[in-house]
Amino acid sequence: MGAQVINKKQLSRIASWLLTAFTAVLAIFWIIPVVWAIVASFRPMSDPMTTGDVWFGSSLTFANYLRAWSLAPFGQYYINTILIVIIILAVQLVTIILGGFAFANYRFAGKKWVFFFILLQMMIPTTALLAPNFATIRVLGLYNTRLAIALPYFGSAFGVFLMRQAFMDVPRDLVDAGTMDGCSWWQLIWHIYLPPSFPSLIAFSLSSITWHWNEFLWPLVITNSDAARPLTAGLVRFTQLGEIGAQWPLLSAATLIVIIPLLITFLIFQRHFVESYLHTGIK
């Protein structure tokens, strides 16, 4: 009996080690492109990248960052990106809270089918909606504006699902007590549903900010000038500078300029980021 217990402990320990090793290997494969971008960004432009020579150059230089900043209006790109992300998140928080409240609190005919079709939107790739969304934006006269980039994302099927699940975890006795005390629907949301669902809102907000900060294809399609382009769409100019294609040290420096704010934000709030996802049950 004792040997069996020891064997189980040993097997559990071996399984834990294997899982840790597997996770470490995945982390290494994930970090390699990031490390390469950092190394390449400090590589002199005069050093050609050839087969077997794509890492360190003859020396290190900050010139790529200075040139990248001078070649593109990154200040305008940052303003556009921040405004777009804030507009999208502000509207999404309203729509997902109201949607989650409706599905968690009310009973109405066709409720399951409506919720099913909302979730079905999560299975539609964004590229399939480029043409109809583009046509709609042109009809509305919003082409090449920040609002045009933000408008298709004002609703979020994932956000509605997340808030519905969070609101359904709120004890019904609290909701009934609030109703008996004369709370209106918005008072129920503000005082009963939202306080215990705050971690879900943080999780969704982090996902929304990250996703729309990194969004590339739709902003590139719907804009044609730097006045409305966000950071990711602005990177396109760095792929067209050289006669033979992208200049990788310069492009790497520009890319790092784009992702540094997100990286710093994650490093500062990584504990809250992980805890909010664990609280909502997202794995």
Q: Convert the chain into a string of H (helix), E (strand) and C (coil).
A: CHHHHHHHHHHHHHHHHHHHHHHHHHHHHHHHHHHHHHHHHCCCCCCCCECCECCCCCCCCCHHHHHHHHHCCHHHHHHHHHHHHHHHHHHHHHHHHHHHHHHHHCCCCCHHHHHHHHHHHHHCCHHHHHHHHHHHHHHHCCCCCHHHHHHHHCCCHHHHHHHHHHHHCCCHHHHHHHHHCCCCHHHHHHHHHCHHHHHHHHHHHHHHHHHHHHCCHHHHHHCCCCCCCCHHHHHHHHHCCECCECCHHHHHHHHHHHHHHHHHHHHHHHHHHHHHHHHHCCC
Sequence-separated (6 or more) residues with CB below 8 Å from residue 258: 231, 232, 235
CATH of the domain spanning 72-239: 1.10.3720.10
Q: What is the pLDDT of residue 198?
A: 86
What does pTM read for this prediction?
0.83
Q: How many degrees, rounded to 5, is the angle at CA 104 between CA 99 and CA 106?
A: 90
Q: What is the pLDDT of residue 283?
A: 46
**pLDDT < 50 positions in the chain:** 244, 283
